[in-house]
Amino acid sequence: MTRKEINEAVTLFLKEGGKINKLPDGPDHRFQTYSVRVPISNRVDLASMEDPSSKKQLAAFESGNL
């Protein structure tokens, strides 16, 4: 369809009592630099896959506690 045909079809639709509703906004696909935030927690040991380098880390690693 050309732009002229679309305009004529819309005009005819509105003349016959048709109604055009605005669709809700879709998802935001723009790049969000800080879209995901992870709360700080002591439950996750980020160094658990590393070799313990101090006696305190070794004791905590062996006991399974932080």
Question: How confident is the model at residue 13, as a pLDDT?
Answer: 94
Question: How confident is the model at residue 49, as a pLDDT?
Answer: 62
Q: Token pair 């790049």 is at which residue? A: 31
Question: How confident is the model at residue 2, as a pLDDT?
Answer: 93
Question: How confident is the model at residue 32, as a pLDDT?
Answer: 66
pLDDT (tens digit per residue) in 8-59: 999 999 999 999 898 888 877 776 666 666 677 666 666 666 666 677 777 7
Distance CA 33, CA 31 (A): 6
Question: How confident is the model at residue 8, as a pLDDT?
Answer: 95
What are the tokens at 15? 């003349």
Question: How confident is the model at residue 9, as a pLDDT?
Answer: 94
